[in-house]
Amino acid sequence: PRTTLVCRARRLERGSAEHMRAERRYLNRNPKAKLYVGLGDFSIFRLEPERASLNGGFGKAYLLDRADLVIAGPIVEELAEGEQSALDHMNADHLDAIAVYARHFAKAEGDGWVATGFDAEGMDLAAGDALCRVFFPEPLKAARELRPVLVDMAKAGRAAGYSQER
C-alpha cells in the first residue's frame, strides 16, 4: 500500500506555546538534535494534513479527508498538557513496562526502549535508532485514562510471558 498526503506546511513562531510543544516532542524523538535546535537557521514546521490518497493495489484506491487522518477533540490538548510528565515518569520508573509494550504489542526486538510520545490512540517508543508504535486497545477519551490503560497493558504483556529480559 502507498499513501500520498497533501499537507499545508506552517512555520511555528519561535517562543510560542505551539513551537515549544513541537520542539519538546521533536527532541523526545530525536535527542541528538539538541546540538542544533537552538541555532538561528533551525525552524520547526507543522504539517497540517488536508487530504490523502491510499492506494492498496489494483481496484483498491481510496480518498481520505482530514477527519480520517487527524485526532481531534479536547483529548488532544488534555493529553498534551500532561504528556511530558507522564513520559518522564514512565522513563524514570517503568522501563520494565516499556520493554513489555515494545516486545509484546509491537513485536519489537532489542533493549533500551523508552517512551517518546503519547496520544489518544497510542504511544511511540524508541531504542537508539529503532522506533515502534504501540496502539491502545481503544482510543482514550480523557487523559485520566492513560495510567489505567498503561497498567492494564503491562499486566497483559507480562501475563503473556513478556518481560524486560526477554
Domain limits of the chain?
2-69, 74-159
pLDDT at residue 57 in the model = 86
d(CA 126, CA 76): 22
pLDDT at residue 162 in the model = 84
pLDDT at residue 164 in the model = 63
* pLDDT at position 166 over 60: no
Spell out the residues 6+ positions from residue 45 whose beta carbon is closer than 8 angstroms to its own: 9, 10, 11, 12
State the average pLDDT for the chain: 95
Does 74-159 match 2-69 at the fold level? no
CATH for 74-159 is 3.20.180.10
Residue range 13-50, pLDDT digits in tens: 999 999 999 999 999 999 999 999 999 999 999 999 99
**pTM for the full predicted model:** 0.88
CATH for 2-69 is 2.30.110.10
Helix axes 17-29, 74-93, angle to 10 degrees: 40
d(CA 58, CA 2): 12
d(CA 107, CA 162): 10
